[in-house]
Every structure is written in C-alpha cells, then in structure tokens.
Chain A
Amino acid sequence: MPKGRRSIVEKHKQIIGRVDIMSRSNVLKERTRFLACFVLVAGLVPAGAFAGDLTAAQILGKAYANRELDGSDGTVKLTLYDKQGGKWTQRGESRVIEVKTKLVKEKGDKIEKKLYRFVKPADVKGMAVLAWDYEKAEEQMWVYRPSNRQTIKLVSSDKSGNFMGSDFTYADMNAPILSNYTLKIEKSDADVGGTKCWQIKVIPNDKTKDEEGYSKKVIWIGKNDFMVRKSMFWDLDGDLLKVLMTRGIEKVKGTDKYYIGEMSMINKQEDTKSVFKTVKKVSDPKIADKHFASDKLSKP
C-alpha cells in the first residue's frame, strides 16, 4: 500500500516507539475510539502550524501520533537497575531483556500485528511472541517456545502491574484516553535540557486514578517536535512516585515521524530505575505479512 494514501486515522491507531509487547484489548478499543475523535483535530491542524494556539489535548494527541508508523522493524533493550550504596547498579543477566520487534498495521482487518523475538536473556533466546490487536475483539497472542519447538496460545487478562518487572506500567506505555483527564497547559516556555517545552498538567478522573494509581502527572512536550521530554507521576497520596526522562529523539528515516532513543523511568519511592533503549528502528511500511503468522514463529 503506497504510503501517501494511508489515512491519518489509520496512522494514529499505531503506537510505536514504546515497547507495548501487549496491550489490553479494552484499552486498545478505548484508545482507538479516542484516536478517532482526536484525528479530526489533528487532521485540521498540521504539525507546527498555529502551534501557539494549540490546546493541551491537541498537543498531547500530537505527541502520541507523532510516534506512529505503519510498519517497522527494530531492536529494543530494557535494562533494570537498583540503587545500591547510592549508585545505580545492574545485577544479573535476567535483568537485561533485548527484543527484536516487527510491527505492521493492516488497514482492512483493523489489526495491529506485533512480533517480538527475544535475544536476551540467553536462556529464552529465540522465544517469540506474536500479538494481534483487534480493534473490536480480544487480543490474541501466541508464544513460540524453542525448548520444545511448539507454539501455544497465551491468554492474559492482568495488565495491571508493571511491565516485565520494570518501572513502566502498561498504562505508562499506552496512549491515554484524553477524555479521562483534565488537562492544563501550565507553561508554554518551559525548558528541559535546552529544549523549549509545553508543560502540561494532567489530572485523571476518579476511575482513571484508581486504575492507573496516579493522582497527577506533569508532562513536558518539545515545542518543535511534539515529543515527550520528561514526565512526572504522583501517587494517590500526592507523593512524587516516578520521573521519566527521554533522550536521543530522532526522526525515523524517510518519514516525518520520530522515535525515542532512550526512556529512563526512575521510581523515587523504591529507588529503582528502568531504561528502554531503541537500538535500531527502521520504518518499513511494506514489511512482509508472513512474519506475523502464528505457524511461522519457529522461523527466525
């Protein structure tokens, strides 16, 4: 499918640049619904134009849309740290997870297909996870286990906690449904490491507070590229819980989209840190569909 003809609606349904190995099907549905509304706004207001007049919702919407690709190929690494004697230390092989990712968006069936193949830890090398996110049905997931060369179906319903033992929750990595929040631009000229940013205060409604476990978030978004530079998260007691910093924001070659080279989340209360690194990211809208078949998972 030629790139130019792809509708904005479809583009906005894809969320890359985060390692959402899985996403909750109901979250996806709501997210998709939200994105459909949001597209009207984003479609009318091209990036960069009239930036000074954007609302907080428009800025956030753009920030998430800005990272979506039709198809991609990449490698992502997640490393977990503890604080010991005042220093961040990384312990043990099991705490470095490296995954090759492939993603394609199939417009006709409204499916987002994602394939993850483990490189590290060594003892799960070759293990592959295939997830099909339907717009209107429960997510389907298959896992290929090299130990017995079998592929099995995996059904999971608990995505409440932290992603793979990291400091990122599933909610942190999925695009939010903006109607669940009260948004306010606190500053239009905030500075994060030399980048001019919007500083947006995000207050969830009561139900969302309960689901996400945050009473407040503040997000800094770069004024030039609409990319998140920093986020802060407060827990339900109003104490600072986590701080997210991003680095190495670059354009994906041949597109007007961006990817984040490194996201580090520090949990201030537990003294732990998780770092996502995008080792490689290539836009590949024509990525072959054969990668995303459950009976082909054994083929690396």
Chain B
Amino acid sequence: MRENKFSNFVVRFAWLFIILFFAITAVFATQLKKVTLDTEMKNQLPDNLPTRLNLDRIEKLFGGTDMAMIVVSGDDILKKDTLERVKKLSKEMERVKAFDRVLSIFTAKDIQAGGGAMRVKKAIKKVPTSEKKLARLRDELKNNELIYGNLLSKDFKHTAIIGFLKTDASDEAVVAKLEKIVKDNPGKETTYVGGMPIVRVSLTKDIRKDMKKFLPIGLALMVVFLFICFRQARGVLLPFLMTVMAIIVVIGLIPLLGWRFHMVTVILPVILLAVANNYGIHIMARYQEDNTEGNEHTNKTLAKNGIVRLTNPVLATGITTMAGLLCLMTHIIIPAEQLGILATVGVAFAMVGSLVFIPAILAILPKAKPIRKAHEDIKASKGVLDKLMLGVADRITRRPKTVIIAFFAVALAMGLGAVLIIVDTNPLSFYHQEAPIWKSTKVLNKNLGGWANISVVVEGNIKDPKVMKAIDKLESHLQKHPLVGNTTSVAKVMRKMNEVMNGGDPKFNKVPDDQKEIAEYFMLYSLSAPPKDFNKIVDPEFEHAQVIAQVKDSGTRAATEVVEYTKAYLAKQQKGGPFKLVGGFLDVMANLVEHIVRGQLLSLFLSIVICSILVALLMRSVVAGVIAMMPLSVSMAMLFGIMGYMGIELNLITAMLSSIMVGVGIDYTIHFLWRYRDERRLSDPVAAVRTTLTTTGRGIVFNALSVVIGFIVLVISAFFPVRFFGLLVVVSITACLVCALVLLPAVVLVFKPRFLEPKTN
C-alpha cells in the first residue's frame, strides 16, 4: 500500500469533501432554471466588431433588417380566390405590431404615366372580378418593376408577404402570429412561413429537444459501458455521478457568468459525458485492480492507493485535455470562446473530483466484493482485442520504416483534401436541405429575387443628383453580379418617376440632373402616396439612403462573394464619396466565415503546440514534444481530409472538433510513451512495444471507446452539423488511436529517442 500527505488528507476528511462537492453542485443546480437560449446569429460576434456595428447602424437608420414572411405558391396567383387570400394574409400581417413595414403585392405601389399625368396607385387596388380585368392587371403587374420578379414571381406562381421586424420584436410572438394568420386563412395554395425568426424559434425548440434526448440516452449508454467495464454498482455509479455533477456545474455556470446557451453549447454536456468520466474510470479500474481476491487492503487503504498511483497520470491527461479546450478561446466567436472555458471548468471539476470526491466516497463505503482474481494477468487472457494487439505489434516491429512512410503518405494525401473544405455559416444549414424550414428560402431564391440582403449605406444630400447618380451606378453594378437577384434603391424609384413625368418616354428612365427636380418628385410622391413607402431606402431627412441587393443563393460562398464584390466597388470610390458602409445579414454571415477559419487555424495550431510542450515537460525532453506532435498532425490531416473529400462543411459546430480532439487524443500518446519507457527498462525495444500494446494498448482502446460512446449520442441530434460532429469524432478518435498504437511504436522503434531509453545504457 502506498500513501502520501494528500491521500491521507482526503481520506481523513472524507465526509467534508463529499459534502463540499455536493454543496458546490447544489449551488450550481439552483442556477439551471435561469439558463436562457440565444439563437441570434449576430450575437455570436462581439458587439464591437465592425460587422455588428454596421448592422446596428443600418437598423437605427432604416429600422429592422430581419424579415419574417408568408410565401404563397399556387397554379396562378392571379386567380380571384388566391388574390383574396393573399389580400387577407397581407392585411393581417400589416396589423402585427412587431413589424415596422409589410411588403406585399397589396401594399406595393405602381407609378404610371397616362394622358400627360402621373399616377401613383396601389399595385392592386381591388381584386378584379372579371377575366378581362384580371388580364389587364396581369399586364400592369408585368410592367411594375417594384413587384415583378420580386414580390410576385415572373410565372405568377409564387408571391411573398414580407414583414420587417422591429428591432425589439419577440421571435416567439411573431412566429405564433404568422402561424395563426395562416391557419385562420386556409386555401388551396401552399403556404410557407419563413425567415430568420422562424429559423431561430425552430433552433431554440430543437436545442431543447436535443438536450432532452442527449442527456438520458447519453447517460444510459454510459451506464451500460461502465457496467460492462466494472460489473459492480460503485464502478457504474461513481463515475456516472461525477459526470452528472460536472454537467450540472458547467450549465449552472452559464447564467452565473451572464452568458446564454447558444447553438454551439449543445455539445458542451456531450463533451463532458465523453471526457469527464475518463478520470473516474481510471480510479475505479485501479480500485478493482488492487481489490483482488484475498487482498489485505481496507476500504481506506484502497482509496489512498488509488490517489497516490493515479494523481500524476490523471493530472497529466486532464491538463492536456484542458489545454486543448482552452485553445477554443482563440475564437473571436463568442459561443466558441465560452464553450472552451465552460468545458475546461467541467473537466477540471471532474478531474479534481475523481482524485478527491470518488476516493472519499470509496473510503467511507465498505470494501467492495472483489471482481478480479489475484494476479490476473491481462496478457494471459486471449480475447479478440489481445489477438489484434499482438498482430499489430508483430507487423510494426517487422517493418517500422514502412509503417512510418505509409502513415505520412496517407496523411499527405488526406491532408490535401483540406483545401476542398467548404465553410458554412448559414443558420439554416443546421437543418437538412429537404427540411420544411428550407422551403420558403428555396422559393425566394428561385422565384422571388433572393433570400437575404446586403446593404450599402449612403450618406450625404440624397437629393443631390451627384449622390443619386452614384446610388444608381452602384445599384446597376450590384445588379450585374450573377448571384444577385433583386435590387432596391431610391434611385430606381427616381428613374421611374422621371420617366412617368416625361410622358412615359423610356429615354427619361434616368436620374434627373437638377436637385430641384428630384426634390419635387419626392414631394409629388408624398402628395400621392404615403412617403413611408420609402422608409427602407431613404431616411425622412434625406441624409441617408440604403441600397439593397438580394442574393439568390443561400450558400455561404455566395454571401462572401457578393460581400467582397460590393466592398471592392466601395474601395474604388474617391475619398469623401457618399458610400459609408456595407452591412447586413449576409455581411455577418461572410464575416463569420473569416472568424471561423481564423479561429480554427489558430486554435488548432495553438492546441497542438501547447499539448506538445506539456508532453515535453512531462517527459523532460524536447524530442518527446516533437514526437507527440506526429500523431496529432496525422490525425488532424485525416480529419480535415475526410471533411474535404466528403463535403462535410466546416461550421460553428465542426470547428470546435479539432481542439477538443487534440486535447483528448494526446492522452493516448502520453499513455503509450509512459508505459513504453517503463517497459524499455525491462526489455529490448521490440519486446517493450509488444508489452505496451498488449497492456496499456488495451486501456487506450477502452479509453477511446468510452469517448466514442459519449459522443455517439450526437448522431441523433436534430441538427445536421451536430450529427456530422458525432461522426467526425469517431473518425478523429480512431485516427488518434491508430496513430498512438501504430505510428508511435514505429517511430520509437526507428528513431529510438534518448528520453525513452534506459539511463543505464
């Protein structure tokens, strides 16, 4: 039996530690109810970031940019019944107070020329009753560029009623209202409720659902796994309890820090399920190893022995895991940063708990019935795994150089696939493309001018023809981009009015040259129709205008492309030019890409370096650090290669993977090197590799298995990226495992690093 001051202290004050851990957990448990969800995309970026500041600026000038909509699809929108229905839907949407503006074929205007007069009228004044009138309306709508191909599809089969949300609107209330409006106005046509509020509400609901599924199923899987390992109540219950407590503590910590539960946070409890029980498992395994039939231990000495033997390995693996997780802090994306901190706290709690709380309970409980026979020799058992390990050991020891070359060749080939990785930041991508939530977006992209916007804010005297002409030029430049569907600006309206005021002569479809003329046109419009019609494109003071381009491809690449195209145009304007900023939903989306990629590279690089430094310190050798980098680099090349070749997107969720995997995967390397160094003192390198693989190798496989089982629950998630995350964990853990058990032995056999060689040599 071994003991030290620390183990004596823990066992002596066992009750105190037990109460302390329960008390801490209880305190955090009281916070659980205060956890709130946040699914707003822009809130994932710090609020002092230019992208967010720009968006806030736009919303202050022109009201909310967020849209919720009802899309109506049928054989022909211009049918009496259909029009009546759309009219009702539009009317009722106009009454929803959360909207500061509603756009539909019934709120839109038509500016017409006729008989030497200008006529501003509602695009559809009355639902036509005769076929003749319907035909006339169809012709009118075809010529109305404020509607055609935008609020009404060119084939007359789709129309959208769009509400712009006030900045303080509640998503839940808006979605409930829209659903009620659709329910109250049934009809033959298909209707889709769409827009970001719907996506956010849906995400919130599904996050809750996911959490409800993950915890029971994940915990059940864990119980089964623990029972297979230990076949004893305490072996199952103690690591289980420790994990549950760690989960309670970190989730309770969220509101205490003033944070909110984001989409990414979904994987937090799962990380703990998978990782936090490892330390408890080690303690229980040691307990059973010591508590063989006929041993002379007491319950207290068994506890002490566990502490003494395992403090160093648990600290070593725990600290490397924490280091990997903390590297998530290099992300500027708020939920990623928070995830890193929260998971680190959880792992720390479980790690300390496994060295204090679990042994304290073991010291108080009566000694368990021994499960293992005395001197049970793992090597003697001839299970499938042992045969496999022996087979692996044989092959490696025969041709270690070939193994190394093969590994690096595969890693290189796979790593090249990383360039194919697509980054995706569209919140809709949390759902499968066939999911109902995508329907309205698809209709918008195909038929109604595009699903989301990018805006350019113009500052200056908007009535100045120079400014107005610049707006016009920008708009037509944006319109030229193949991914841009519809564009909107005050210059478009101005051109139309000029044409109408000049007898409908298309020659005058241009911005007038005289400011007085422009001012008069605005006045004329406000004499004919409410000037509020313009409130999204020019402010009432005529000091700011907004040029809006809708993008008709919901891919993140499209967003980035159009944002860059727009910014490039602005960069070319002369100093003091009227264009002040680019912003909007798509800008946030494009900006997230940059931050995900930068955060990904930085956190990955940093986690590999820090983990290697930790290994170097642990082994007291720089070479050890370099060797530790090899399996990590190869595993990560595999991970990113698979993502690239299989078309799995890098997004907010999958970007979390690499740092977590580095932190977890490094453990296998540590375990291997540690044991090999011990074995090398007793035998030659080949025998040492064989022994290490059949003893510690077995443990490493179980360890990896427990991580995979912990994460596998993610496969049932409602969210696509979370499911892929689950699959990728299997891939990367397997890669780490294979690297530790195949590549590492080959490396030590070929290079025979000094730090592993016996000192007497």
By a beta-carbon cutoff of 8 Å, the part of chain A in contact with chain B is 21-22, 80, 91-95, 118, 121, 123-124, 127, 129, 141, 143, 145-148, 152-158, 160-162, 164-165, 210, 236-237, 239, 269
Contact = CB atoms under 8 A, between A and B. Distances in A.
B97 A92 contact: no
Contact of A155 (B117, B122, B517, B540): B117
Given A22-B527, A94-B541, A236-B95, A158 B109 contact: yes
B598 interface: no
B52 interface: no
B527 A143 contact: yes
8 contacts: A92-B542, A123-B463, A124-B523, A143-B527, A152-B118, A153-B116, A165-B530, A237-B95
Nearest to A144: B520
A37 to B, nearest CB: 28
Nearest to B123: A158
B527 A146 contact: no
Nearest to B516: A147
B528 A95 contact: no
Which 4 A-B residue pairs are closest in the complex by CB-CB distance?
A: A161-B530, A92-B541, A123-B519, A153-B117
A148 B530 CA distance: 25
Which of A80, A91, A93, A143 gathers the greatest number of chain B CB atoms within 10 Å? A143
A118 B520 CA distance: 11
Nearest to A148: B517
B118 A161 contact: no
B543 interface: yes
B501 A152 contact: yes
Given A127-B523, A152-B118, A157-B119, A92 B543 contact: yes
A165 B95 contact: no
Given A80-B540, A155-B118, A165-B532, 9 more contacts: A21-B527, A92-B541, A92-B543, A93-B541, A123-B520, A127-B523, A143-B524, A145-B520, A158-B120
Contacts of B524: 143, 154
A164 B531 contact: yes
Nearest to B95: A236
A118 B532 contact: no
A202 to B, nearest CB: 20
Contacts of A93: 541
A95 B527 contact: no
B526 interface: yes
A257 B111 CA distance: 40
Nearest to B503: A152
Contacts of B209: none
B179 interface: no
B514 interface: yes
Interface in B82-125: 91, 95, 97, 109, 114-122, 125
B540 A158 contact: no
Contacts of A154: 117-119, 524, 527-528
A156 B529 contact: yes
B533 to A, nearest CB: 8
B526 A152 contact: no
Interface in B453-467: 463
Nearest to B501: A152
A156 B526 CA distance: 10
A124 B519 contact: yes
A91 B541 CA distance: 7
B479 interface: no
A95 B540 contact: yes
A264 B97 CA distance: 23
Which of B118, B516, B543 gathers the greatest number of chain A CB atoms within 10 Å? B516
B119 to A, nearest CB: 4
Interface string B500-531: 01000000000000111101100110111111
Contact of B515 (A123, A127, A156, A164): A123
Contacts of A121: 519
Nearest to A126: B516
Contacts of B95: 236-237
Nearest to B518: A123
Contacts of A239: 97
A226 to B, nearest CB: 31
A165 B516 contact: no
B567 to A, nearest CB: 29
Interface string B532-571: 1100000011110000000000000000000000000000
Nearest to A21: B527
B526 A155 contact: no
Given A152-B501, A154-B527, A94 B119 contact: no
Contacts of B527: 21-22, 129, 141, 143, 154, 156, 164
A141 B117 CA distance: 10
B114 A155 contact: yes
A87 B515 CA distance: 32
Given A92-B543, A129-B527, A165-B532, A153 B115 contact: yes
